[in-house]
Amino acid sequence: MSGGLLVAGTTSDAGKSVVTAGICRWLVRQGVKVAPFKAQNMSLNSFVTREGAEIGRAQAMQAQACRVEPTAQMNPVLLKPGGEQSSQVVLLGKPVGEMSARGYHGGRQQRLLGTVLDCLAELRGTYDAVICEGAGSPAEINLRRTDIVNMGIARGAGFPVLVVGDIDRGGVFASFFGTVALLAPEDQALVAGFLVNKFRGDVSLLEPGLDMLQGLTGRRTYGVLPFRHGLGIDEEDGLRVSLRGTVRESVVAPPVGEDVLRVAVCAVPLMSNFTDVDALAAEPGVVVRFVDRPEELADADLVIVPGTRGTVRALEWLRERGLADALARRVAERRPVLGICGGFQLLGEHIEDDVESRAGHVDGLGLLPVRVRFAREKTLTRPVGEALGEHVEGYEIHHGVADVTGGDPFLDGCRVGQTWGTHWHGSLESDGFRRAFLREVAAAAGRRFVPAPDTSFAALREEQLDRLGDLIEHHADTDALWRLIESGAPQGLPFIPPGAPA
């Protein structure tokens, strides 16, 4: 077998990432050597590969679905928003500068098409199949001229396109039809058909509509995936805790001890890698919520200040909302606070930032003995260490360089009393360390909480990916999908007017 497929969507969040991961897991279980690919990703949730390249977390999870190590070639362009109109451009895993949306779409994006096609060709030369994920909608007619992630990739690689629609939102038939009808004839020829996502109810009631859709477009529907809670892999953006849905909405596990543990995560602007708290949400008896008001910290046993793409902006936001004062009161009362990456930096004494915000000297919250200087070179590493007597693995993505001047060492950061800070993302995914940390938090909070002795975050992720593979295997026409991946789009697909505007 040799081939590929582009999974496009009628909208953002239609389910492209989930469907791509599901197809990848289904294929690898058939013995196919498969890789994921997303030419361009816009996300603040990123990951560091073993060679020190930064890519989107969704592609890292899709690589896990394929049971392969993620590489920079799987997500050659990553855009990390720094505001409403600008993003940091990460090319082949390394930042190459900040750019406005107008500047990027005005010429830079199109010049990257050759790079992304080279990466795709490299993957095609290594794997039996490559399953590509699009972005947004392929019918964004204002962006088609410079597109390198939807039909630009499909046409460049000659890949068939499967369009995913979220029926739970409503309007899925119009979305399918309109998506095809706004594409140029050359692009329409590659759109093989549709996949309905998040369907609730009796599928026989939907079938007449699917038959009419085929009559209108000449394209079949390759499957109807039922609505399932907790099937999202690591999100590109948003405020959903992906694994929490899997654990809490499928099997409700009671706490092992007598009490639950309440975790409040400050929803700072430009929050990055909020997936760090997934491992906490996976623990029976741990309740995780995102908060933006100081009174919401009052009953929390642990407050987490997460990573952010805008440390200085997040610092201002905390002060404006009264959260900075609430955090200071917690620290004075020796109640647990954990700062991760940008959250760690703003807990320090002061920040010198001539790179990210260009604000120069800014006073931090002064809750940890740390001074931070922003370097132009970004730190991208996969550290391994020990804390609380347990093995810990993580990954670092930051411009800020921390000078720790006191406290007890903690994962390259420090700890003072019950205030903890580290640059390490993903540390809570290490099961032994997570349990030890939660025991410390419970003791400090006076909670009779006991971590479950057998929660394996890695095993839960594997179960989640297998559920995605099962969804494709049981509810999609896998024989037809196989032919599509192997042989390309069917010949003679009709043109649906009006097509793309001139």
Catalytic residue numbers? 341, 425
Dist. CA 316–CA 445, nearest whole Å: 28
**Angle (nearest 5°) at CA 66 between 243 and 158:** 120
* Residue 15: both structure tokens together: 């389910």
Q: How many distinct helices (H) and strands (E) make up the chain?
A: 17, 27
* DSSP code of residue 501: -
Q: Which amino acid does the sequence have at 179?
A: T
Evaluate whether 48 touches 423 at the Cβ level (below 8 Å).
no
Q: Locate tokens 């409040």: which residue?
A: 264
Residue 280 CB neighbours (<10 A): 26
* Residue 178: both structure tokens together: 């309109």
Strand partners, 191: 161
Q: 3-class SS at 451?
A: coil
**Angle (nearest 5°) at CA 424 between 66 and 35:** 15
**Angle (nearest 5°) at CA 431 between 231 and 242:** 20
Q: 3-class SS at 137?
A: coil
DSSP E strand boundaries for 143-297: 161-166, 191-199, 220-226, 261-266, 271-272, 286-291
Q: Locate tokens 């009161």: which residue?
A: 329
Helix (H) or strand (E) holding 76: none
* Residue 210: both structure tokens together: 């699917």
* DSSP code of residue 412: T
* Residue 16: both structure tokens together: 């492209």
Evaluate whether 58 touches 38 at the Cβ level (below 8 Å).
yes
Nearest to 217 by CA among 189, 244, 239: 189
Evaluate whether 237 touches 274 at the Cβ level (below 8 Å).
no
Q: Locate tokens 């919520």: which residue?
A: 289
Q: 3-class SS at 500?
A: coil
Phi, psi of 155 (to 5 degrees): -70, -40
Strand partners, 90: 78, 95
Q: Locate tokens 């996976």: which residue?
A: 282
Dist. CA 388–CA 428, nearest whole Å: 12
